[in-house]
Amino acid sequence: MPRTRPWHGVMVATTLPFRDDLSVDLDAFADHVR
């Protein structure tokens, strides 16, 4: 059985913005994570 490494470091949760038609708003997401 292969050994797996546990996660290390900081895991950051981000929100994913959607447009009115429920498509992902990538421009708003890029601004948010900057």
Closest to 17 in 3D by CA, of 1, 4, 30, 34: 30
Looking at residue 5, its pLDDT comes to 82
Give the model's pLDDT for residue 25.
97
Could you tell me if 33 and 14 are in contact, meaning their C-beta atoms sit under 8 angstroms apart?
yes
pLDDT for the residue 1: 64
**Cβ-contact 16, 24 below 8 angstroms:** yes
R_g (Cα) of the chain, nearest Å = 16
Residues of the chain below pLDDT 70 = 1
